[in-house]
């Protein structure tokens, strides 16, 4: 999946246009680059962590001429350490957010139905209690006339 395909998929899952999703994707990647430039550690809980590490200078071998030695200078490299949910996804245990939202919507709908039933039952109970109180309450005597 490339950046354009990613932006189109993001737009399909959200209420964004493809242009807005492309813009969001570009800004996201730009923020990652800024963090790497500053040497910051960027962590996404469950997804993974981007960090900058210093790689020391070393001597390597020219692949075209194995007898020739090449000096490789020291430099900074970006490392990515995957999080637990990304590791699970790589092993086939991925649950898409869309499925989670559907389950959440069903749970909310069920909860709303339960609340409505409880409210209706409470109203019935209150009405019955009021009726019982009216029947049980003694009638007040008519006020005495003053002379």
pLDDT band at 43 (very low <50, low <70, confident <90, very high): very high
Q: Which residues contact 83 (CB under 8 A, 6 or more apart)?
A: 44, 45, 46, 47, 48, 49
Domain edges within the chain: 95-136
pTM summary value: 0.56
Element (H, E) at 134: helix 97-136
Q: What is residue 140's predicted lDDT score, i.e. its pLDDT? A: 64
Residue 62 backbone phi and psi in degrees, to 5: -70, 120
Q: What is the pLDDT of residues 112-146, one digit of tens each?
A: 777 777 777 777 777 776 666 666 556 666 677 77
Q: What is the pLDDT of residues 94-103, one digit of tens each?
A: 777 765 556 5
């Amino acid at each position: 999946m490339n950046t354009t395909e990613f932006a189109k998929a993001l737009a399909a899952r959200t209420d964004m246009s493809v242009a807005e999703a492309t813009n969001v994707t570009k800004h996201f990647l730009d923020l990652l680059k800024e963090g790497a430039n500053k040497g910051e550690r960027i962590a996404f809980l469950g997804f993974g962590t981007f960090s900058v590490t210093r790689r020391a200078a070393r001597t390597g071998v020219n692949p075209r001429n194995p007898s020739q030695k090449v000096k490789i200078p020291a430099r900074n490299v970006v490392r990515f350490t995957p999080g637990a949910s990304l590791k699970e996804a790589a092993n086939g245990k991925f649950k898409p957010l869309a499925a989670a939202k559907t389950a959440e919507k069903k749970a909310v709908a069920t909860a709303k139905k339960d609340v409505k039933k409880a409210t209706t039952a409470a109203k019935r109970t209150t009405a019955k209690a009021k009726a019982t109180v009216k029947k049980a309450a003694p009638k007040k005597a008519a006020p005495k006339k003053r002379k």
